[in-house]
Homo-oligomer: A and B are copies of this chain.
Amino acid sequence: MKTKILYVEDEPFLGKIVKESLESRQFDVRMVADGKEVMSAFMEMKPNIAVLDVMLPGKDGYTLAKEIRQIDPNLPIIFVTAKTQTEDLIKGFEVGGNDYLRKPFSMEELIVRVNNLLQLTQKQQASPKENIAIGKFEFAPQRYELRKGDSLRKLSHREAILLQILAENQNNNIDRKTILMRVWGDDSFFNSRNLDVYITKLRDYLKEDDAIEIITIKGIGYRFVVG
């Protein structure tokens, strides 16, 4: 699945160039020009990263960053602005930004910084060879085995992948869609029902430990909480 960029820029000419340039690098870009429209676009598209101009009609980039931070404390945010003063940069980081790029900037630099942030914020997922501790259980992803004390349960392929995705993202929300794409490769209606079935199975397998819970977030996905 493509990485989704929410790009907020009110200069149409610059905006178009940057958007196309990012798209040519296989990013899925949504551009918004008016500050007031950003939050609804944000909720709708659920971007992986936000690139914000600071000076905007409607609402400025700093305010937007603050609002985004309230909803998602982990989303990478890059400011791209003509404001070159150090104080402006500091403010950008203060409101929750993770990088600050002064205009004019080179496209290459933006792309490199976008990728850098995406990498930094991705979970350094335990290499799938290592066993993962899940409450009182221990999960061996490569062997599809779920252990608790002396009892052992062999998982099927789908069960194992699903559990691995959940375990890798403990305490974080996981999109239904993300799961569907990773386990089934598409998010059709039937696979979506299928996911329900597998969630039920995993809940059943894990019910011996009360500290473990797969919380449903209706309309969004799941959150796997342990302890």
Q: Are A42 and B185 in contact (CB under 8 A)?
A: yes
Check A93 against B71 for contact (C-beta < 8 Å).
no
Query: With contacts A116-B93, A157-B217 known, is A142 near B125, CB below 8 A?
Result: no
A33 at the interface (CB under 8 A from B): no
Q: Is A128 touching B171 in the complex (CB atoms < 8 A)?
A: yes
Given the interface pairs A44-B185, A108-B90, A157-B220, the reply to whether A215 lies near B39 with Cβ below 8 Å is: no
Name the one of B39, B93, B142, B220 contacting A181, with C-beta atoms under 8 angstroms. Answer: B39
B125 near A215 with CB under 8 A, answer: no
CA A89 to CA B107, docked complex, whole Å = 12
Interface string of A93-105 (1 = CB under 8 A from B): 1000111000000
Check B73–A127 contact: CB distance below 8 A.
yes
Query: Which of A89, A106, A142, A223 has most chain B Cβ within 10 Å?
Result: A142
Q: Which residue of B lies closest to A227 (CB)?
A: B128
Chain B residue contacts of A216, Cβ below 8 A: 157
| 20 extra A-B contacts, CB within 8 A, seeds A74-B127, A93-B113 | A42-B185, A43-B185, A44-B185, A70-B182, A71-B182, A86-B106, A86-B108, A89-B112, A98-B116, A99-B99, A121-B123, A142-B225, A143-B215, A143-B225, A144-B215, A156-B218, A157-B217, A157-B218, A157-B219, A157-B220
Please list 28 pairs of residues, one from A and one from B, whose beta carbons are closer than 8 Å in the complex, sorted by A's number. A39-B185, A39-B186, A40-B186, A43-B184, A43-B186, A67-B181, A70-B182, A73-B123, A73-B124, A73-B127, A86-B106, A86-B108, A89-B109, A90-B109, A90-B112, A93-B116, A98-B116, A98-B120, A99-B99, A99-B116, A117-B120, A120-B121, A121-B123, A143-B225, A144-B215, A156-B218, A157-B218, A157-B220
| CB-based closest 4 A-B pairs | A43-B185, A86-B106, A157-B217, A40-B186
